[in-house]
Amino acid sequence: MFCPKCGTNNGDNTRFCFNCGYALSAPQQPNQQLPPLQQPNQYQQQLPPLRQPNQYQQQLPPLRQPNQFQQMPPLQQAPYGRPYVQPKKSKAGVVIAVIAIIVVFGLLVAALNNGWFSSAPVIKKACVATALDSETYEPLNRVRNIPGTEPTIYVAAYIQNVNQEVSVVSVWYHLDSDESFISDYIYIDYDAWFYFSLDQSEFEFPVGDYVVELYVDDYLEETVEFTIY
């Protein structure tokens, strides 16, 4: 573009002359046909109509009212939430326990008396008698008071846990006179009844109280008492 004032050749898009600063007019552009502007109602017609609030209200289920929760059954509490109640003790169980203790105690006493827990020879069932079984020497009667006219007095007993030969002896004491008598030794090598005796034909029995001690291998094992009247 040439400046109409000084004739300087300027660019096509120059608004002012480079030489004199004259304002140049912008070149006329050919008229272009622009498409007609779309009206807002065109977009409104293309878009689907907006859902109104009442559409959501119709699709959603109605909210539960507070009274609906109040009508529900009450929650069940957990078992551990209940207060602890100590069960009552049965009297029958206490009675059974006491009886069991008594039975066990009785068995222990019986075991000790019978030498079940002992491996050494022990004397059991020692007594005074006036008659014995001729084969087993087991006493046929047991007495505590004996008349002075009785011909023979026996002290019998049972010895058990005999694993080898043992010696047994008896010592008789007359308590009123402090007199004593020692029998002969007998030797036993198995569990059995044995006896010692005093014969009226050999000894005169003074009236009074007597004590007889039985020794096994010179150890005192048992004592019996009787009275002659």
Which single residue is written with the structure tokens 């505590």?
144
Question: Helix (H, G, I), strand (E, B), or coil: what is residue 228?
Answer: strand
Cα angle vertex 9, ends 4, 13, to 5°?
90
CATH number of the domain bearing residue 219 = 2.60.40.2550
β-strand partners of 210: 174, 226
Instruction: Look up residue 113 and give its two tokens.
Output: 């008396």
Asked if residues 221 and 228 have their Cβ atoms less than 8 Å apart, the reply is no
In a domain, 69, yes or no: no
pLDDT by position in tens, the chain (length 229): 788 888 888 877 778 887 888 887 655 555 555 566 555 555 555 656 656 655 555 555 665 655 554 555 665 555 555 555 666 666 777 888 889 999 988 888 776 666 565 578 999 999 999 999 999 999 999 999 999 899 999 999 999 999 999 999 999 999 999 889 899 999 999 999 999 998 888 878 889 999 999 999 999 999 999 999 9
CA 55/CA 160 separation, integer angstroms = 109
Whose CA is closest to 215, among 192, 191, 186, 177?
186
CA 141/CA 180 separation, integer angstroms = 25
In a domain, 201, yes or no: yes
Total residue length of the chain:
229
Whose CA is closest to 146, among 206, 222, 213, 212?
206
The one-character DSSP state at 47 is S
pLDDT at 115: 56
In a domain, 169, yes or no: yes
In a domain, 20, yes or no: no
In a domain, 34, yes or no: no
CA 183/CA 194 separation, integer angstroms = 13
Q: Tell whether the torsion through CA atoms of 133, 138, 144 and 149 is positive or negative.
A: positive
Instruction: Look up residue 120 and give its two tokens.
Output: 């050494």
In a domain, 128, yes or no: yes
Provide the whole-model pTM: 0.49
pLDDT at 37: 57
pLDDT at 161: 93
Residue range(s) defining the domain that contains residue 148: 122-228
Question: Helix (H, G, I), strand (E, B), or coil: what is residue 166?
Answer: strand
Instruction: Look up residue 155 and give its two tokens.
Output: 């002290």
Instruction: Look up residue 88 and give its two tokens.
Output: 């009552």
In a domain, 189, yes or no: yes
CA 105/CA 99 separation, integer angstroms = 10
In a domain, 165, yes or no: yes
C-alpha distance from residue 153 to each of 5, 125, 129, 196, 214 (Å): 181, 16, 6, 8, 15
CA 38/CA 30 separation, integer angstroms = 24
Per the structure, how many domains does the chain have?
A: 1
